[in-house]
């Protein structure tokens, strides 16, 4: 996008002109001499929408009960000010770390945010959502999602069956061995 310029002799006149947007960064004002007069130029930077957020999780599957990191990235927005929120099943996550780069002035910025989520077996049907709001977005915030079913390692039927067999047959097996031991003991006395 090409920057637009306004030309005024004083800042106050430029700020009151309805066709000129207000500029808050003082370094965007420059003075130039033209035909013997001091002129003040205000450069209005272009605005740019952020890219749709992309959410990524761990590379491999993780067992329930573990804490995993999810990362949200969006790029190419201007101005710098942007709002990000994380959600899990519609509930806002309170703890996450977000950075916007570059740190100084630029015509375009990039966002990266990381949230920690503790997985539970019920999360197989859950989503993690990264929501980005910016002044350039007229239709509301942009959202990126990750399905936790892609992250959670499900128990295999064979693992479950082994545990179930041990739990159900363990006490019965002990009972059978006990009955046989008592029978053998009484048989030897007789």
pLDDT > 90: what percent of the chain? 51
How many domains would you assign to the chain? 3
> Mind listing the pLDDT tens digit for each residue in 48-102?
999 999 999 999 999 999 999 999 999 999 999 999 999 999 999 999 999 999 9
Question: Which whole-number Å values give the CA distances from 67 to 61, 84, 123, in the listed order?
Answer: 12, 21, 12
Quick one: 60 and 136 in the same domain? yes
Instruction: Give 166's pLDDT tier (boundaries 50, 70, 90).
Output: low
Q: Which residues pair with 40 in a beta bridge?
A: 8, 31
Q: Check pLDDT > 90 for residue 8.
A: no
Quick one: 18 and 33 in the same domain? yes
Of 103-107, 137-141, 153-157, the range with the lowest mean pLDDT is 153-157
The parent domain of residue 27 ranges over 4-44
Quick one: 128 and 61 in the same domain? yes
Instruction: Give 17's pLDDT tier (boundaries 50, 70, 90).
Output: very low
Quick one: 58 and 146 in the same domain? yes
Quick one: 163 and 146 in the same domain? no
Query: CATH no. for residue 117?
Result: 2.60.40.10
């Amino acid at each position: 996008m090409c920057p637009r310029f306004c030309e005024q002799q004083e800042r106050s006149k430029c700020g009151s002109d309805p066709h000129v947007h207000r500029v808050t960064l003082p370094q965007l004002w420059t003075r130039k001499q033209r035909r013997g007069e001091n002129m003040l130029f205000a450069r209005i930077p272009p605005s740019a929408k952020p890219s749709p957020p992309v959410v990524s999780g761990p590379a491999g599957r993780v067992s329930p009960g573990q804490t995993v990191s999810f990362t949200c990235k969006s790029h190419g927005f201007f101005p710098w000010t942007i709002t990000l929120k994380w959600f899990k099943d519609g509930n806002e996550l309170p703890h996450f770390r977000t950075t916007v780069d570059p740190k100084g002035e630029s015509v375009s910025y990039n966002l990266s945010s990381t949230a920690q989520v503790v997985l539970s077996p019920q999360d197989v049907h859950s989503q993690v959502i990264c929501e980005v709001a910016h002044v350039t977005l007229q239709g509301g915030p942009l959202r990126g999602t990750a399905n936790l079913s892609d992250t959670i390692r499900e128990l295999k039927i064979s693992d479950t069956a082994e545990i179930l067999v041990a739990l159900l047959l363990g006490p019965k097996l002990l009972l059978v061995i006990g009955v046989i031991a008592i029978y053998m003991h009484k048989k030897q006395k007789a």
